[in-house]
Each structure stands twice: as C-alpha cells, then as structure tokens.
Amino acid sequence: MLRMAFPMKKYARMVALLCVVPAMLPASSHAQALVPSGKMFANAFLDVRAPLTGDWMIAKSSQAELAFARVGDAANESFIAQVSLFALPDFKGKDEFETLVKQGVLADSPTERFKPVSADFEYTEQRGYPCVKYVGVTEDMKAKTSTSATETVKLMLQFNSLYCQHPTVPGVGFMVGMSHRGDSVVEDLAKDAEAFIAGVQVAKRTAKSVVQTEVQTGMPTEAKVESPSQAQPEAKQQTQPEVQPAKQQDEVEEEVRG
C-alpha cells in the first residue's frame, strides 16, 4: 500500500533539496554518486528516465518520490529533477483542476521571504489525460547558503513542472519537473525540463486504485529552501533507492509495497 505525505509540502521539499545539493556532493564522493544518463526507474505508477545530460545523483528516493540533483557552476547554484505522487481530490472540469494546482503552488510561499516574479499555468490534455503545466520564477529574499547556517542571500528559483491526474489510478496525481536555484535564471532550463518530463510516463502495469495517505489530502506544490545544516533525512542520498531500475518486460511484476 502506497503511503503519500501531505502534498502541499512537496514545494517545500523541492526547494529544500535545491539548497542542500552543494553540501551533499563533496568532491571526494561526487563520482560515486552519479546516476547513468537515461537510466530507467520504475514502480507500479510511473516509469522514470533519469536526466539525459549533466552529472546527477539521487537526492531522494521513496515509494512516492524520486529526486535527482546536481550542482551548478556558480556558487549556491543547484538543479533538481523530481517526480512525486500525491493524493488528488475530486475536481470538476479543467478550470477547477487548474485552480487546485495554482492554489497548491502558491500556498507555500510566505511573502516575507518569497517574492513571485512570474507564474504561468496552462491546462493541457496533450498526454491524453488532464495535466497542468506550471512555469514560474520566484525570488528567495532570504536564501540560506551551503557555507553558513546564518548567512542569507537573494537567489532566483525557477520551476518547469507538469501536474497530472493519473489516468488509471483514481485519486492519485503526479508531478514531474525540473527546478533551478541561483543568482539568475538559466535560459535552457525549459529545454532540459521538457526532455526530463518526456521521459516520465505512466507505468504499463499500474497499481491498484486503493491509496492510503498519511495525512489529509491536498494539492501539491514544489519546495522551499532550508539551510544545508538543517537538511532533513529525506533529502539524503539513498544507497539502494526504493524506486528500482526498470526490469525487462517479461520480468516486470510491479506491486506497491507498504
């Protein structure tokens, strides 16, 4: 039975991951942490392809979430490519679904710290089921750095994400996207995010429709920054991720483990 945490906290976890990436990749262990380009991972809900370019490591792995991370070239710069499942409440029509996603994304952005720069939401059924594209930029006015527990700086947060209703499992949604944190926005994030998102597809053998949530259902958002010194255990590298590499077709016998 899949257990999914309160999805409103997904936004907070994504930015937390963006912040702790430099601390998670010391030079001595960097090579050992790399994930092969395009490596396939799968569970009973989704098939996930690792990013095709760049040096990525697994920053978070659970039955409801898989996150890849890498550092950028500049100080305090990091990238996250993330896939997460969430409990999706009932909605009526595309307008209500878009509103739910928008509310979820914006709800976890306290104005005393985060200043929205842009936020674009677009409903789409290009995949054959309801999804909402989100492209946004937010200024973190009190971003904590990887070198100090007290120092804060201003950094830009970029998000290119897709929120979807799972087409075969009632009450379940998923988010897939790529995000960036740094002194300025990067122009090629959209291209890299599009390639990563295209590599995440609904599993050929899907899970049972019964989903058990740990807390109240809500809409997902995408993650706020915490100090690397305060990094939560969930952001640590997992030696043996629970989302396993994809097997050959005749070996695949997926079940959602409790």
59-118 confidence digits (pLDDT tens): 999 989 999 999 999 888 999 999 999 999 999 999 999 999 998 888 767 888 899 999
Which tokens sit at 201?
Answer: 């597809």
Pairwise pLDDT comparison (17 vs 192), residue with the higher score: 192
d(CA 245, CA 130): 27
The pLDDT of 178-191, averaged and rounded, is 94
Model's pTM, two decimal places? 0.74
**Count of C-beta atoms within a 10 Å radius of residue 187:** 7
Pick from 78, 65, 159: nearest CA to 120: 159
Q: Evaluate whether 51 touches 37 at the Cβ level (below 8 Å).
A: yes
Using the predicted structure, report yes or no on whether residue 40 has a pLDDT greater than 80.
yes
| Distance from C-alpha of 81 to C-alpha of 76, rounded to nearest angstrom | 17
Q: What is the pLDDT of residue 251?
A: 37
For residue 85, the SS3 value is strand
User: What is the rounded CA–CA span in Å between residue 132 and residue 100?
Assistant: 10
Token pair listed for 220? 């997902």
Average pLDDT over residues 7-17: 47
Q: Residue 141's pLDDT is what? A: 92
- Name which residue leads in pLDDT, 215 or 36: 36
46 forms bridges with which residues in the sheet?
202
Task: Say how far apart CA 241 and CA 75 lie, in whole Å.
Answer: 28
Q: What are phi and psi of 148, to 5 degrees?
A: -145, 140
What's the whole-number mean pLDDT along residues 216-233?
36
Q: CATH says 3-24+40-231 is which class?
A: mainly beta
User: What element of type H or E holds 126?
Assistant: none
Give the Å distances, CA to CA, from 132 to 6, 52, 67, 125, 136.
19, 24, 20, 8, 13
Least confident of 47-56, 108-117, 127-136, 183-192: 108-117
Q: Residues for the chain: how many in total?
A: 258
Instruction: Please compute, for residue 237, the number of CA atoms within 13 A of its CA located in the half-sphere on the CB side.
Output: 18
In angstroms, the CA 70 to CA 58 distance is: 9
DSSP 3-state of 197: helix
Question: Are 123 and 94 a contacting pair, CB within 8 Å?
Answer: yes
245 pLDDT more than 50: no
pLDDT digits over 132-177, tens only? 999 999 999 988 877 777 888 999 999 999 999 999 999 999 999 9
With a CB cutoff of 8 Å and minimum separation 6, the contacts of 64 are 2, 3, 4, 5, 84, 85, 86
Alpha carbon distance 167, 88 (integer Å): 12
Hey, what amino acid is at 146? S
